[in-house]
Amino acid sequence: MTRRVRVVDSHTGGEPTRVVVSGGPDLGTGPVSQKLDRFRSEYDTFRSAVVNEPRGNDAIVGALLCEPSDPSCDAGVIFFNNVGYLGMCGHGTIGLMVTLAHLGRIRGGVCRLETPPGIVDAHLLDDGRVTIRNVASYRSAVHVPVEAPGIGRVYGDIAWGGNWFFLCSGHGQELALDRLDELTDFAWRIRQGLTAHGITGSDGGEIDHIELFGHPTAPGADSKNFVLCPGKAYDRSPCGTGTSAKLACLYADGKLRPGETWRQESIVGSVFEGTVSVVNGKVYPEITGSAYVNADAELILDDRDPFCYGIRTAGALVTPAVLPTGTS
Ligand code: PYC
């Protein structure tokens, strides 16, 4: 059996997003968080087929559009990667907006999106940039010590920005693009330390993103980061949810007031602008960035292909290799 899946690829500050436009699984009805459970338990092979090699690579974040359950929303979206599923994805939401413009589905203005952790407003600006108002973000713990194997004790804050982050400054690492292997190894050891010592987010969620901060090099930037994603790929963008987590920490420390701009540079030199608004004591980060569409294609899922569902990497496939009964 062969299935065809239409996708549109884009990159946001260098970080790729692949939006599934048609041919994806039918996830039924209910809130997007429930659809995510169905996606994970019944159609994980589809996730792997779309983003993993040989069609994709470890850096690609997939986005599956679905019906929202909240009547105030225009669409629902579930983000996924090489090893599983994300809560929210900032660069992916910016990529989704330019993809919808490319498809002629929006011309500008605001789209309200239902994501598993909550509602996100995304605004396609006149100059082509996109501003997202993320889910409420917060710091849950300050200056937490972690014993990282082979490194020793490192300290960092734990914050939620739609995913859980460990945010670490003063680590002694130079953040430079020619040090990707060293930075990946360093951040991965912190991740292992968090897991080994049972350190989680305040809701018990796994801290699966590690964010290292250093001095900026881009003109006008306030800080540079290196973000290690759950499947060991580094984020080429400054990471929308990671920047949200950073903004929540800055606000909590009294270092960023509502409406002030923070410019976060990525390890490849791309920059997001961030600010916060505070409503009923909750901090809502707003992130602005640019994305570009770079492919409009059809994936072919041919059952006879031994690697039809992707090459198994860190997060081995758990579901049998069945094709979803899809919408197209
Ligand atoms: O931009 O939020 C983000 C993100 C998460 C993982 C990769 N990018």
Rounded to an integer, the average pLDDT of 98-126 is 96
Could you tell me if 155 and 183 are in contact, meaning their C-beta atoms sit under 8 angstroms apart? no
N residues, the chain: 328
Rounded to an integer, the average pLDDT of 260-272 is 98
CA distance 18 to 2: 20
pLDDT reading at 319 higher than 80:
no
Atom of ligand 1 nearest to the CA of 244: 2
Q: How confident is the model at residue 108 (pLDDT cuts 50, 70, 90)?
A: confident
Residue 270 Cα to ligand 1 midpoint, Å, equals 14
Give pLDDT tens digits for 31-54.
999 999 999 999 999 999 999 999
CA distance 255 to 262: 10
Give pLDDT tens digits for 230-254.
999 999 999 999 999 999 999 999 9
Give pLDDT tens digits for 82-97.
999 999 999 999 999 9
Residue 92 Cα to ligand 1 midpoint, Å, equals 7
Atom of ligand 1 nearest to the CA of 89: 2
Give pLDDT tens digits for 207-224.
999 999 999 999 999 999
Residue 231 Cα to ligand 1 midpoint, Å, equals 12
CA distance 9 to 307: 21
What local confidence, expressed as pLDDT, does residue 199 receive? 98
Which segments of the chain does DSSP mark as H helices, in order?
A: 32-42, 44-51, 90-102, 180-196, 240-252
Q: Which of 167, 235, 270, 271 to mutate to test the pocket of ligand 1 (most atoms within 8 A of CB)?
A: 235
**What contacts 211, CB < 8 A, 6 or more positions away?**
165, 166, 167, 168, 225, 226, 227, 228, 239, 242, 245, 246
Residue 124 Cα to ligand 1 midpoint, Å, equals 19
Could you tell me if 220 and 239 are in contact, meaning their C-beta atoms sit under 8 angstroms apart? no
Rounded to an integer, the average pLDDT of 292-306 is 97
Could you tell me if 155 and 146 are in contact, meaning their C-beta atoms sit under 8 angstroms apart? yes
Could you tell me if 123 and 134 are in contact, meaning their C-beta atoms sit under 8 angstroms apart? no
Closest CA to 225 of 259, 281, 264: 264
Give me the residue label for tokens 């589809």. Answer: 46
Could you tell me if 282 and 294 are in contact, meaning their C-beta atoms sit under 8 angstroms apart? no
Catalytic residues: 89, 239
Average pLDDT of every residue of the chain: 95
Rounded to an integer, the average pLDDT of 182-207 is 98
Q: How confident is the model at residue 313 (pLDDT cuts 50, 70, 90)?
A: low
Residue 91 Cα to ligand 1 midpoint, Å, equals 5
Ligand 1 contacts (CB < 6 A) are: 15, 61, 86, 89-91, 229, 235, 237, 239-241
Question: CA of 324: how far to CAs of 5, 56, 61, 66, 309, in Å?
Answer: 11, 19, 19, 15, 11
Q: Which of 10, 51, 83, 163 to mutate to test the pocket of ligand 1 (most atoms within 8 A of CB)?
A: 163
For atom 5 of ligand 1, the residue with the nearest CA is: 89
CA distance 244 to 228: 15
**What global pTM score does this model have?**
0.95
Q: Which of 83, 227, 264 to mutate to test the pocket of ligand 1 (most atoms within 8 A of CB)?
A: 227
pLDDT reading at 320 higher than 60:
no
pLDDT reading at 197 higher than 50:
yes
Enumerate helices (H) and strands (E) in the chain, giving the number of each.
Answer: 5, 16
